[in-house]
Amino acid sequence: MAEQYTYAVARIRAKELSLLNRQDLEQLLAYKTEQDCLRFLVDKGWGETGMDGEEMLSHELDKTWNAIQELVPDLSAFSVFLYPVDYGNLKAAIKSAVTDNRPERLYLYRGSMDPEQMEQAAQKHDFSNLPPIMREAAAQAFQTLLHTGDGQLCDIILDRAALAAIQQAGKDSDSPLIRDYA
């Protein structure tokens, strides 16, 4: 166990070198074009040449989660950090089902749930397969969007539910980190 901990600490310390410091952020803000910003980030070890901003951010997010997964075999302790992604995907699934429109790159990945499961639930208007904490808000948001056409109200319902889920996870957790986050 001590060896695992030592390895994890050393790995994280090595990764800290690629973090942007205050000076880096100020320099980044001083650039006039997106291309200059992206070039600066590539020079700092972020992404690869030719990536746009979204691709670079997605690439870095994948690297981060892969590193966490390498160090911590059970990611369930981190699921609370994925709730915003899950609820964002639920918004997309509901809006897609109600408007009968499915744009490209609709879902964010790296959530704790499969976005396709949410899409099927929204298409069938049956949210019983979703986690209990999500079911009621999903049904309410769906009905609200269906009857009012108000996408912002749908977002508010699901954002409130996401915050409530995070808060509940904090109350249920033994981890001070999760409690503080919540």
70-124: pLDDT as tens digits? 887 777 778 888 899 999 999 999 999 999 887 777 888 778 888 999 999 999 9
pLDDT at residue 1 in the model: 53
Give every CB contact of residue 92 below 8 A, 6+ residues apart in sequence. Answer: 106, 107, 115
Q: State the DSSP code for 47.
A: S
Alpha-carbon torsion 117, 118, 121, 122, what sign?
A: negative
Give the pLDDT band of residue 2 (cuts 50, 70, 90). low
Distance CA 124, CA 121 (A): 5
Residue 24's nearest CA partner among 54, 10, 45, 9 is 45
As a whole number of angstroms, the distance between CA 96 and CA 36 comes to 35
Angle between helix 151-172 and 132-148 (nearest 10): 170
What share of the chain in percent tops pLDDT 90?
Answer: 52
pLDDT in tens, 14-73: 878 778 899 999 999 999 999 999 999 999 888 889 999 888 988 888 888 888 888 877
